[in-house]
Amino acid sequence: MTVTEFNTQFNKLEDLLFGFAMKLTKNRDRSRDLMQETVMRAYKNKDRFQNGTNFKAWITTIMRNSFINNYRKQRTRNNVEQPVEDMLHVADQAVTKEKASSSIMMEELEAILSELSDTYRIPFSMFYEGYTYLEIAAHMDLPIGTVKSRIFFARKQLKQTITAKYGKNVLAEVA
């Protein structure tokens, strides 16, 4: 398709395409943007258009697909309405809340964790610090299944120790 043929065909359908864009977006500015994107994509791919086929169907399909792609992008994109810096005071307040009791609890948990043998404590601590099973396995020169089972048994032992020391209610409050 030549540039002249493309322009002729497009000019015939311009009003129809704008109406279709309005139907999809329900907004005049977004419709103009969709029209512009459609024209750009269609013009860029005009060589793919097969003469003798329906130009209207081809270009409306491009428009519909562009609309769907943009909709999906907007839906999955994180829309931040306020700068993150404005929300830092919330994080500061959350950290200072009950600081003393959480410090005591962490000290007690670290003491319980230190009672575990190195066999279980080291992989569990590494996992808690954010290492992946693969990284722990490589660091400790162990099969990944062994690392997973040691972390599982460390959790189990910690749970038993906490339950024996503080009762089942403490675990329910933490979870």
User: Please, what are the domains in the chain?
Assistant: 3-76 (1.10.1740.10), 98-174 (1.10.10.10)
Distances (CA, A) of 64 to 10, 12, 25, 42, 67: 16, 19, 10, 12, 5
Summarised one tens digit per residue, pLDDT across range 15-69 is 999 999 999 888 899 999 999 999 999 889 888 888 888 889 999 999 999 999 8
Mean pLDDT score, 96-111: 68
Summarised one tens digit per residue, pLDDT across range 116-169 is 898 999 999 898 888 899 999 999 999 999 999 999 999 999 888 888 887 776
Separation between Cα atoms, residue 37 and residue 91, nearest integer Å: 41
